[in-house]
Amino acid sequence: MKKVLLLGSSGSIGTSTENCIRRNPEEYQLVGISVNRSIEKAIAQIDEFSPEALVIGEEQAYTAFPHQQYKQTNLYYGVEGLRQITRELDYDILVNALVGSVGFEPTLEALKRGKTVALANKESLVVGGELIEDVLATHGGILLPVDSEHSAISQCLNGEDPATIESMTITASGGPFRTLPQEEFSRITVENALKHPTWEMGAKITIDSSTLMNKGFEVMEAHHLFSIPYDKISVVVHPQSIIHSMVTFHDGSVMAQCGLPDMELPIQYALSYPQRLPMDTPRLNLATVGTLSFEKPDLDRFPCLQHCIDAGKTGGTLPTVLNAANEEAVTLFLEKRIAYTDIERIIGNELAAHTPAPLSSVDTLMSVDKETRTRIRRSYCGREA
């Protein structure tokens, strides 16, 4: 039985992971969870799964949690609590479903212990991919993708010689504004942007999907996960979201992984790896789907995708700036402080103003991250991040 530490247990990935564990009680034991402020969700999970430990991110929620009623659960607080639980708890696999760069250090700490990490937190590799690659090389942990696109690539590569890989293609639904004229982007509201055509996700990743920033992050992830140059990774818009990714081999063969959009499949695949457990879910019927269509992404309308590729190629501290600027800009948009089109403008300005330096340590990463956030928050809120 695998002991599972689930960080970000109240979000959509956390809930889907919970379903996988519930479906296979003989395979998995949930030993630790984390929430930001959703203490009702945490209490329900404690009542059902009896985890040994809980991290609560927000101070107010931490104070409100009924400590006396749940004395059997070790309680941790904040970012330091995430570090502690990842360093100290006895677990076999970490499912990192945290949102944002706060997920980086738990990923790093788990891999330093030689643990298996099922990674849904894109930002871990976006901001610190170079550092994570170093830790993997020296500590022997295992990094498994949870994103449907990278899970698809992983499945296509299973048993294949890496030397035979010619290129990889990541698919994108295109988001809610795929066909919207660019001149109407300035009128996009928060409510418009939170309506994704395919997936049900949290607010931040839904906005990232609408700008194609999320897809750019996935290109950066693929580079680090599969040690493939950026020039050999492409993105194609596929509105039906049936083909999740493709790999082209040096003989011209193309292998694709297909399936109905359902995040529980890649989550369960990562949890059960290297096995494949059964799932009682609707099956893909291509005759019912009818048509699969593809088109190039419009980089003029969605420049965030190109920002990611350029930042990834440059490397060093530039991806950290990219991510911090994006997180702050998306937060400002969700708070209705800026227009939708300001998201890309803020990111572009921060990238242009930054002089990249080598990513020599976690301290360097954290310093650049804080400086970027502080600069943006001072400009738009009159306060530090």
Delimit the domains of the chain by residue range: 2-145, 147-261+285-302, 315-378
**Residue carrying structure tokens 């395919």:** 198
Asked if 2-145 and 315-378 have one fold, the answer is: no
What pLDDT score does 209 carry? 94
196 annotated to bind ligand: yes
The pair of structure tokens assigned to 3 is 């002991």
- Asked whether residue 24 is marked as a ligand-binding residue, the answer is no
123 has binding-site annotation? yes
- Report the alpha-carbon distance of residue 193 to residue 237 in Å, rounded: 18
Q: Is the pLDDT of residue 213 over 70?
A: yes
- Alpha carbons 212 and 280: distance in angstroms, whole number: 32
From CA 102, how far away is CA 115, in angstroms rounded? 19
Instruction: Give the residue-averaged pLDDT of 213-242.
Output: 98
Please compute the mean of the pLDDT values over residues 317-345 and round it to a whole number: 97
How many residues belong to the chain? 385
- Widest pairwise Cα distance in the chain: 64
State yes or no: pLDDT of 353 exceeds 90: yes
* 13 close to 119: Cβ distance less than 8 angstroms: no
- Among 221, 241, 253, 71, residue whose Cα is nearest residue 156: 253
Q: 349 pLDDT exceeds 60?
A: yes
Residue 369 annotated as lining a ligand binding site: no
pLDDT tens, position by position, 61-75: 999 999 999 999 999
Cis preceding linkage at 278, omega within 30: no
Predicted pLDDT at 223: 98
Evaluate if residue 196 carries a pLDDT over 90: no
> Does the annotation place 221 within a ligand binding site?
no
Query: Span 17-31, mean pLDDT?
Result: 98
8: tokens are 């970000």
| Confidence (pLDDT) at 281 | 92
| Residue 154 among known ligand-binding residues | no
Which pLDDT tens digit goes with each residue over 259-276? 999 999 999 999 999 999
Residue with tokens 């990674």: 119
Backbone torsion region of residue 248, taken as left when φ is above 0, otherwise alpha when ψ lies between -120 and 50, otherwise beta: beta
Model confidence band, residue 195 (pLDDT cutoffs 50, 70, 90): confident
Of the chain, the percentage scoring pLDDT greater than 70 comes to 98
- Number of Cβ atoms within 10 Å of the Cβ of 23: 15
The residue ranges of DSSP E strands in 241-329, in sequence order, are 243-249, 254-258
- With a pLDDT cut of 90, the percent of the chain lying above it is 95
Report whether 313 belongs to an annotated binding site.
no
Kindly state the average pLDDT of the residues 32-47. 97
- Whether 293 has a binding-site annotation, put simply, is no
- pLDDT in the model for residue 367: 97
Return the minimum-mean-pLDDT range out of 144-148, 185-189, 319-323, 378-382.
Answer: 378-382
* pLDDT higher than 80, residue 198: no
Phi, psi of 331 (to 5 degrees): -60, -45
Comparing C-alpha atoms, which of 25, 31, 82 is closest to residue 58? 82
Q: In the prediction, which pLDDT does 201 show? A: 77
Whether residue 379 is annotated as binding a ligand: the answer is no
**pTM for the model:** 0.95
Per the CB < 8 A criterion, the answer to whether 330 and 343 are in contact is: yes
pLDDT of residue 292: 98
Task: Please tell me whether 215 is known to bind a ligand.
Answer: yes
Closest by CA to 155, choosing from 19, 306, 256, is: 256
What's the mean pLDDT when you consider all of the chain? 96
Q: Binding residue per annotation — 11? A: yes
Residue type (1 letter), 368? V
pLDDT at residue 140, rounded to an integer: 87
| 58 known member of a binding site | no
Inform me whether the pLDDT recorded for 383 exceeds 60. no
Q: Tell me, what's the pLDDT at 199?
A: 64
DSSP state of 81: H
The domain defined by 2-145 carries CATH number 3.40.630.30: no
pLDDT at 385: 52
Which distant-in-sequence residues (6+ apart) come within 8 Å of 152 by Cβ? 243, 244, 245, 246, 256, 257, 266
pLDDT tens digits, one per residue of 135-178: 999 998 999 999 999 999 999 999 999 999 999 999 999 999 99
User: Is 13 annotated in some ligand binding site?
Assistant: yes
Instruction: Judge whether 197 and 172 are in contact, CB under 8 Å.
Output: no
Q: Which fold has domain 315-378?
A: Rna Polymerase Sigma Factor; Chain: A (1.10.1740)
